Structure 1
Amino acid sequence: METGVHAVLWDMDGTLVDTEPYWFRAETELCAAYGIPWSDKQASALVGNALPTSAAVLRDAGVGLDVRAIIDMLLESVIEQVRQAVPWRPGARELLAEVRGAGIPCAMVTMSEQRLASEIVDLLPAETFEFLVTGDMVGRGKPDPEPYRIAVENLRAIRGDLSLDRIVAIEDSLPGLASATAAGVVTIGVPNMVSLPDGPGHIVWSTLEGRGVAHLTELVGAH
């Protein structure tokens, strides 16, 4: 099926699955163990950031652990919550299935580490994603463009010389939008826990529900 869309790059937390409340809970419980109050506003400010960045904020707030230990504790909490229930975002799995059914390659680009990403990927049909780019695979996380640049390089190694203006990224956070747009791909923002402004370099959709390959095709055509 010829669509004009060369590939779709998917963020995970907040875009494919609504795990941001799980992160909020993990952060709140970790802070509480050190007698530190932690608000939703503070948690929202960390949405989409690289885990070392978020962990450093928690350490500076008073969590008495090093950055690696903080990351490990947060990941363990979120993984445990995911194993109890996976909150898929509206329309995300349906769009993902339609994209794959059209033969369009997909990759995941997430700041979560591979062990959490694998929990989600294992619940999807085999070979849904060509590969994962996770936070523990990059030197500079979102909002730096490195994660999306790595994804594009990997796709080109597998699929040939794909055009940036026909590769679509789907994100829910400001750091994610910044990363994807700086990498030069067509970027869609789908707000979840934080509002996303309209702006140059990206388009905002209120939801993925009801969206399909035709909408992505229209987007890259207009771009």
Structure 2
Amino acid sequence: MPDLVLADPAVVGVTLEGVLWDMDGTLLDSEKLWDVAMGELATELGGVMTEQMRHAVLGASAPDALARIFAALDLDPTPTAVAGAGDWINARVTELFALGIPWRPGARDALRAVRAVGLRTALVTNTERELAEQALDTLGREHFDVTVCGDEVPSGKPQPDPYLRAAALLGLEPAQCLAIEDSPTGAAAAVAAGCAVLVVPCEVDVPTGPRRVHRTTLEGMGESMLASVWRAAHA
């Protein structure tokens, strides 16, 4: 890491060493594609995807999202039915991703800026590996030292497992890491793991709380902004 002091240890007690990026809704504006697929899945299952249902599954792991959809539609969640719905949604999102995944504002430059500072980085997503690999074709694998997907941990977000695994793979403590998230589910997971969190909401509002700093955009990301966010998260 370059000789940069991103935070005064006397002020916050620990320096920033790693940035842990969420993917859907944070780096990529892919939640809108998931909206399409989820709505179509509800129709396929004989129901309607309401706004309340969509918000309930936003940022959830695949098993949690499917469980909530089946419950909301009052369907019997047999293993065969749930597995079939999971296969259907993965196939549909694969098709939608192949058409092109738009970036969130400022995200592409933010990835480059964090790399330029020299911090260790991870992609931490509830999306399963097969779909995440497709998204990485857009994001660029060179921006991440490690990647952690929802089907590679015991429990996905809002549990802390994905962030704990990412920090461990980077050789860091969670307290040395800044997670960047857009959803209540993701922010809760990062805080539970012991990370500070930069929240940049996309589809829904995210509650304020300890170790959370809110911004409206990733635009302007750089050494100065990282230092400011890090200090604010520890205030």
Q: Which residue of structure 2 lines up, in the alignment, with residue 174 of structure 1?
A: 184
Letter aligned with residue 146 of structure 1: D
Deviation at 1:63, TM superposition (A): 7.9
Letter aligned with residue 177 of structure 1: A
Q: Which residue of structure 2 lines up, in the alignment, with residue 194 of structure 1?
A: 204
User: For the Cα contact (< 8 Å) 1:166–1:220, is it kept in 2?
Assistant: no
- Map Cα deviations across residues 69-116 of structure 1 (whole Å, 9 max, x no partner): 222221221221111121100011111111112221210110000111
User: For the Cα contact (< 8 Å) 1:95–1:212, is it kept in 2?
Assistant: yes
Q: Which residue of structure 2 lines up, in the alignment, with residue 82 of structure 1?
A: 97
Deviation at 1:126, TM superposition (A): 4.3
Task: Give the length in aligned residue pairs.
Answer: 218
Cα distance change, pair 96–71 in 1 and its aligned pair in 2 (3 A): same
- Bigger Cα displacement from structure 2, 119-128 vs 81-90: 119-128
SS across alignment from 1:123: helix
Q: Which residue of structure 2 lines up, in the alignment, with residue 25 of structure 1?
A: 36
Deviation at 1:192, TM superposition (A): 0.7
Superposed, 1:147-186 pairs within 5 Å as: 147-156=162-171, 162-186=172-196
Cα distance change, pair 199–221 in 1 and its aligned pair in 2 (3 A): closer
Q: Which residue of structure 2 lines up, in the alignment, with residue 48 of structure 1?
A: 59
SS across alignment from 1:45: helix
User: Where does the alignment leave 5 or more consecutive residues of structure 1 unmatched?
Assistant: 157-161
What is the TM-score with the length of structure 2 in the denominator? 0.86
Q: Which residue of structure 2 lines up, in the alignment, with residue 127 of structure 1?
A: 142
User: For the Cα contact (< 8 Å) 1:189–1:205, is it kept in 2?
Assistant: yes
> Identity of paired residues, percent?
38
Aligned partners of 1:171, 1:207: CA distance in 2, in Å? 11
Matched, 1:107 2:122: yes
Cα distance change, pair 165–57 in 1 and its aligned pair in 2 (3 A): closer
Q: Which residue of structure 1 lines up, in the alignment, with residue 22 of structure 2?
A: 11
- Map Cα deviations across residues 133-186 of structure 1 (whole Å, 9 max, x no partner): 101001111111111011111111xxxxx4544311000111111100011111
Cα distance change, pair 220–95 in 1 and its aligned pair in 2 (3 A): same
User: Where does the alignment leave 5 or more consecutive residues of structure 2 unmatched?
Assistant: 7-15
User: For the Cα contact (< 8 Å) 2:196–2:212, is it kept in 1?
Assistant: yes
Q: Which residue of structure 1 lines up, in the alignment, with residue 9 of structure 2?
A: none
User: For the Cα contact (< 8 Å) 1:91–1:207, is it kept in 2?
Assistant: yes
Deviation at 1:49, TM superposition (A): 1.0
Q: Which residue of structure 1 lines up, in the alignment, with residue 151 of structure 2?
A: 136
What is the TM-score with the length of structure 1 in the denominator? 0.90
Aligned partners of 1:79, 1:216: CA distance in 2, in Å? 34
SS across alignment from 1:209: coil
Q: Which residue of structure 2 lines up, in the alignment, with residue 70 of structure 1?
A: 85
Aligned partners of 1:110, 1:3: CA distance in 2, in Å? 28
